Structure 1
Amino acid sequence: MQWREGTVQEVRGRWPGAVEYAVRLAGDDGEVVRALAYTALAGEPQVGDRVLLNASALLRGLGTGGLAFVVVAPDRLPADPPSGTGHIVKARYTPQQQMFMAVDEQDSPHHAALTSGAADAGDLLGMPVVVADLHSALPAVVAGLRSERPDARVVYLMTDGGALPLAFSRSVARLRDAGWLHGTVTVGQAYGGEHEAVTLHSGLLAARHVLGADVAVVVQGPGNVGTGTTWGYTGVAAGEALNATGVLRGRGVAALRVSDADPRGRHRGISHHSRTAYGRICLAVADVVLGRTDDQLGRLLADQARTLVEGANGDLTLREVDVDGLDQALRATPVRLSTMGRGLDEDHAAFLQSAAAGRWAGRLLAG
């Protein structure tokens, strides 16, 4: 961890749970950097306040998390949270661990709902659960779902493969503000959702039986980690999410990670991330969705998808979906679409295929 000290110069933006600042670093050069404060952790520093920063990602030049984080404003400590707000610890055994009231703990007002009836039996009652690898797929999945069922109650479950604080995602904040998401649940070590859950399994059951979701979308937070190896990437959790869905008698829907623009060969066409997570890790019944396009890329994707499904360890079914109207749906999203730094027109296929998975989930509701 690389520490830096600085002084807040201005507020550059805010959204629920987070504030972005311009901070002038102490020292002879006085460089001004972007710094993010999570209000539940660091409160809200004011212009002129001295702040201590974790500058590791900034100094390493990382992409998604390439800014400084406010650890504390030592002269303006935040007030203690209300007492009795739960005892489930997340970011455990780190200096910034926090206690939350998890939806599934004994003192939760929702504990009874999760220990009776279908929830206690571990039954999602056939609820479609769309699973994707990258956080950037979330708005595209919801856009595709809304093209089919604009009235559907969609709950987002953020797993802990990427960012742990949900407040890091401006996309989630904007989707929630726009009414595109009915609610959010953070599971595992992730935190900051409207509901916390200890596991993905209990989070899915809470989405269905506490929040009344019609469809759940499971994607890690921003900041996917990959190593260029077959197994060393956080998106392997997508396969495990489909397994959890199958165990809980939901309807698993796999959104393919696709690119026609990524310079890395392993991610061109259907990414090796999807081929591994869905083809080798998923052992459950699930639908793999392919948006049909009659062009060279579309033919390549169809061949790759058939190969994935035919060689899979799980019971996968390829579902081909028309893409009529999905481009318009994507352009109507309340957030800016971006994946690995590329926008909608730069990597259209990436978003189109995620939207196709959302459309298929909407059709499952009708059928």
Structure 2
Amino acid sequence: MIVWSFGTVTRIVREEESVQELEVHIMDDEMARALNYPQLTGRIREGERVVLNTTAVDLRLGSGGKHFVSARIGVDGKPLVDMDTAKRYGHIMKLRYTPFQHAVQTVEEEESAYHEIFCDIEGKTLDRTPVIIGEVHSMLPAFVLSIRHLQRRTGGRAPRICYIMSEGGALPMALSEHVRSLRSLGFLSGTITYGHSFGGQTECVNLYTALLAARFVWKADMIVVMPGPGMTGTGTPLGFSGMEQVSILETAHKLGGLPILIPRVSLADLRKRHVGISHHTITVLQFARETPLVLNLEHHPELIAQLKEQSEQHTLIFHEPLDMEEWREVEERFPISIATMGRTAQVDLIFFAHAYYAARLAWIKYEKQEKMQEMDLFT
């Protein structure tokens, strides 16, 4: 079911390259906010008539109270997108066979400057590059800010971090305020979208090529693979979007990376199934039992008790609890609040702490690699 409404754009609230936030006048004198993705519908001006998808707001789902522009209404029957401009895009379709299918140039296709990288994959591995995998989008800024905090504290070159957005949450990367802020601060060296997610600096056909692009196109020292904002869960053992972590972990390992799973942990969630180590993480670990990975866990008796049968393929590293004062230092320079399900670190520090523990391991490995490269210069 889709709920449609018509509206007139009265004001451009926010204007960015990949997203516009609009104030729209809907019938019965109702004013509402809407998001427009220029990659799909072109750039909108004040006074234009638009068709809105209002489904999420009508169902009171998590869209932030905003509608989405689905179409612009032309007055003369001409296309509202410049076809000469459209021809400059590639030939790979995203959101295929839907009204919103659109062409992008993926890094693998012939017109791409990096096409040759993907023609011969013999010997191309991630070479133990840390691949950090998580279920919740807020883990992204928590991890990246933790890395920058460790870098400031110990000195040295800041690592190149590439973010790959999966298909488990929002499909347009433009929706993420965290990505915009991290990029504006220079904390992300590159962004990639694959499958039907779209809007990354690099577009890829699948996760395998996305990981290779992170390593060989963006020269990443660390790769983060997580969904965009929003996720799906049904309260059933397997009915949640985070199950994608199983295949992501396996793919990262098969390509020679070092899979590091950030567990979803909470001591403040009101839902019993998410208290301690979330049943989502427990299930992912069970289904990834044959995949070598690293799990960083706070040395907490309740958490340890939940890991009844640890796979021999899983390396478990315990960490002493993170101090709240240190976490304040981690996030003090970030312009927007970081929260999970509306809870900040003041309420649920342990959730964010596990992103910090993963960052600590990735940083240690990065430092060792940097020192080895320095030694090679003198041999």
Q: What TM-score, normalized to structure 2? A: 0.88
* Higher gyration radius (CA): 2
**1:178 is aligned to 2:182:** no
**Is the alpha carbon distance of 1:19 and 1:345 closer, same or farther for their aligned partners in structure 2, counting shifts above 3 Å?**
same
Displacement, 1:65? 5.7
Distance 1:122 1:229 in 2: 39
The residue number in structure 2 matching 1:112 is 116
Mapping of 1:1-367 within 5 angstroms?
A: 1-26=2-27, 29-64=28-63, 66-75=65-74, 77-80=80-83, 81-116=85-120, 119-149=121-151, 151-281=158-288, 283-292=290-299, 298-304=300-306, 306-307=307-308, 310-312=309-311, 315-322=313-320, 323=322, 325-367=326-368
Please give the secondary structure, in 2, of the residue aligned with 1:347. helix
Displacement, 1:157? 0.2
CA contact (8 A) 2:208 2:251 kept: yes
Displacement, 1:112? 0.9
CA contact (8 A) 1:4 1:25 kept: yes
Q: Structure 2 stretches of 5 or more lacking a match? A: 153-157, 369-379
One-letter identity of the residue aligned with 2:310: G
Q: Deviations over 1:131-186 (max 9, x none)?
A: 00011110001112223346000000001111111111111011111111010000
Distance 1:282 1:153 in 2: 30
Displacement, 1:122? 4.4
Over the matched positions of the two proteins, sequence identity in percent amounts to 36
One-letter identity of the residue aligned with 1:300: E
One-letter identity of the residue aligned with 1:279: Q
Higher mean C-alpha deviation, range 259-268 or range 346-355? 346-355
Displacement, 1:104? 1.6
CA contact (8 A) 1:15 1:173 kept: no
The residue number in structure 1 matching 2:372 is none
Higher mean C-alpha deviation, range 99-108 or range 221-230? 99-108
One-letter identity of the residue aligned with 1:78: V
One-letter identity of the residue aligned with 1:23: V
Distance 1:49 1:37 in 2: 12
CA contact (8 A) 1:254 1:289 kept: yes
Distance 1:84 1:73 in 2: 22
**Is the alpha carbon distance of 1:279 and 1:361 closer, same or farther for their aligned partners in structure 2, counting shifts above 3 Å?**
farther
One-letter identity of the residue aligned with 2:44: P
Please give the secondary structure, in 1, of the residue aligned with 2:261. strand
Distance 2:251 2:69 in 1: 36
Q: Structure 1 stretches of 5 or more lacking a match? A: 293-297
CA contact (8 A) 1:57 1:65 kept: no
Distance 2:181 2:88 in 1: 30
Q: Deviations over 1:85-104 (max 9, x none)?
A: 21111111101101111112
Distance 2:292 2:304 in 1: 20
The residue number in structure 2 matching 1:295 is none
CA contact (8 A) 1:17 1:38 kept: yes
Distance 1:96 1:85 in 2: 15
CA contact (8 A) 2:297 2:319 kept: yes
One-letter identity of the residue aligned with 2:111: D
CA contact (8 A) 1:243 1:282 kept: no
Please give the secondary structure, in 2, of the residue aligned with 1:303. helix
Please give the secondary structure, in 1, of the residue aligned with 2:186. coil
**Is the alpha carbon distance of 1:16 and 1:360 closer, same or farther for their aligned partners in structure 2, counting shifts above 3 Å?**
farther
Distance 2:305 2:146 in 1: 23
Please give the secondary structure, in 2, of the residue aligned with 1:57. helix
Displacement, 1:281? 3.2
One-letter identity of the residue aligned with 1:63: G
Distance 1:227 1:203 in 2: 29
Please give the secondary structure, in 2, of the residue aligned with 1:17. coil
Higher mean C-alpha deviation, range 141-150 or range 89-98? 141-150
Distance 2:41 2:89 in 1: 18
Distance 1:64 1:341 in 2: 13
Q: What TM-score, normalized to structure 1? A: 0.91
CA contact (8 A) 2:130 2:222 kept: yes
Please give the secondary structure, in 2, of the residue aligned with 1:129. strand
Higher mean C-alpha deviation, range 30-39 or range 125-134? 30-39
CA contact (8 A) 2:13 2:22 kept: yes
